[in-house]
Each structure stands twice: as structure tokens, then as C-alpha cells.
Amino acid sequence: MLGTDTCSIEEQSTSDADTKRVHNSSGSLTKENIEKSTESSNKKADQNEKPVTEEEEQVARKFDHSTMIPLPIFIGRNEISTYKYVDTKDKFVEVMKELQEMIKNKQMIAVDCEGVNLSRFSSITLINIGTRDMVYLIDILKIGNSVFDDGLRSILEDSGIEKLMFDCREDADALLHIHKVKLNGVLDVQILEVNNRIHVYRNGYTKIRSLKHCLEVFLEDDTLLNVKLQGQTSMSVSRNIWEKRPLNDNMLKYASVDIIGLFKLYDALRTRMGHIVWKAASSRYCDCTRSRSRMYRDGSGILPKGILL
């Protein structure tokens, strides 16, 4: 039997290296061995540590929860676009930089608002704005009204920044009377569609068609239409779905299609009117609902007089 002052040596494996830890008979580590073990471990850790490359940093940022990752959406045969869901202030700041760069490079943009019974009598819960290749879904409900003074107002009110829209009347009404934003620079694709039709009723008005109807008539395939129908199915289950969070994938894609579809319809209908005439008619269309007194949301399926001169 060994005496009480005799030390026993015990080997223990760790995840980094095999470190010999020396115990005395009572099982406690001596101060000298603790210092040696710690010094050895630190040296090995320093030797194994590799500098982080720029590529590795980019990958880490990509999967950070606060970073937006563009999500794909099929928009036609062998065609894919992307969208980003913007639900925090930090993401919004990033998006505004990207949008300003797109506008600086003369890329055409499209705009659409979502809400329950969209008008001055309700609320805007989502503003969608984008180009042919990227759609930003800006969640007003989650970020708050500060988005307008933090960049959206200047884009929406600038007549020099032309914006494709489809039946902009209630969007303009809600923006002005709820957020004091006077929408300008609109190019309304619905005006292009209605311009040369002869379905004029005896009271002098012309029937207008929905975005869904136009997608059915003017697009070569039904890819976008199917996405829109899936979103409408979700809306039929929950009438107030635009006020609920989180929004499901069907609704995010539905909102994206409302932007992407505008570019496809624009390509199909752009030769129907001269640009100057179209922009002037769109301006009158934009102003016709927001400029009058209303007691309730009194939408109509006919084109108001005086829009097309």
C-alpha cells in the first residue's frame, strides 16, 4: 500500500487534447499541475485556431436570423423571381438602400398595398414594392408607421419616380387619409387595359377588369394565376388575414405576384397608349377617390368619367 504523501497519476481525455492531470491522494489538483495543464491547453487551442476568412464571414451573415434571404417564386415557365419579407426596422433600412440604388439605376418599380377593405376606413398592413427581379414585402403592422418618414414617403410622393400599379384608387385613398402620403408618379396598368375596349354602357361608363381577370386573359401561362388562387383560398378561410401574423407562405407569394404580374401585364399592354397620355390619365385616376368626401368604402366596377379624355 502506498503512503498518504504519495501522488497517483491519472490520465483523462478531453475534447481538445489528452491532458495529464495529477491528483494527490485526497483527489485534489495541485496548484502547480493546474497551471501547467492550463498553459498547455491554451497553447494547443492557439495552435488549432484558424483565422476566419471573408468568405466564412459572409456565410455566417447569410444565415444570421436578422439577415434577409431572398426567397424564390416561380413566375412562369422556367422563370423565377425573388422576394424578401421585411418585418424589422433593421431589415427596412437595408431595403431602402437597395431600393434607392435600383431607382438611381433607372429600374422601373411597382407598388401595391394590402389591408382588410383597403381604404381610408381601414388600414394598410403591408406595402409591396419591387422590380422585375426582386419584391420587398414591407410589414407595416410589425415595423410601424415610421417607415414612411424613413424613406417610403419620398419614393411614393415623387412624381419623377414612376410606379406601376393596378387600380390605385383605394391605395391612394388609404395612403393620404391615414398616413398623409400623397401618392404620385403612378402608371396604372388597369388604364392600359381599359383604354381601347368598346364595352361602353349607356350611362357612359366602361367596365373595369380585375387583376386576376387580366392575368387570365393576357398571360401565356397560368403560373402566377395559380399562386394568386392559393392566396385567395387562404383569404376565404380568414377574411381578416392581412391583419394576422405570422403571414403564411401563400399570402407572401400572393402579395409578390401582385407586383410581378404588373410587369408582365405592362409588357403585354404597353403599346396601347402613349406614355404621356397614360401618365396623365393615371394621375386623374389616382386622385378621383381620395379627393372626394366619403362616408363608407363605395368601390365601383366601372371607370369614372373624365379619366380617359
From 114, 135, 133, 139, select the one nearest 124 (Cα to Cα). 114
Per-residue model confidence (pLDDT) at position 39: 53
> Rounded to whole angstroms, how far apart are CA atoms 76 and 169?
28
Per-residue model confidence (pLDDT) at position 160: 96
DSSP state of 51: P
Backbone phi, then psi, for 161, in 5-degree steps?
-100, 100
Per-residue model confidence (pLDDT) at position 23: 41
> Rounded to whole angstroms, how far apart are CA atoms 11 and 21?
6
DSSP state of 308: -
Per-residue model confidence (pLDDT) at position 204: 66
Give the residue ranges of the chain where pLDDT is below 70. Answer: 1-67, 198-204
pLDDT tens digits for 251-263?
999 999 999 999 9
Backbone phi, then psi, for 131, in 5-degree steps?
-115, -170
CA atoms within 13 A on the CB side of 247: 27
Contacts of 18 (CB under 8 A, 6+ apart): 11, 12
> Rounded to whole angstroms, how far apart are CA atoms 109 and 162?
7
Residue 97, Cβ neighbours under 10 Å: how many? 11
Residues 177, 122 contacting (CB under 8 angstroms): no
Residue 259, Cβ neighbours under 10 Å: how many? 26
Strand partners, 8: 23
> Rounded to whole angstroms, how far apart are CA atoms 224 and 221?
8
Backbone phi, then psi, for 117, in 5-degree steps?
50, 55
From 124, 127, 126, 130, select the one nearest 83 (Cα to Cα). 130
Instruction: Answer whether the bond into residue 246 is a cis peptide, omega within 30°.
Output: yes
Residue type, 243: E
What are 85's three cell numbers?
A: 419579407
> Rounded to whole angstroms, how far apart are CA atoms 207 and 302?
4
Per-residue model confidence (pLDDT) at position 109: 98
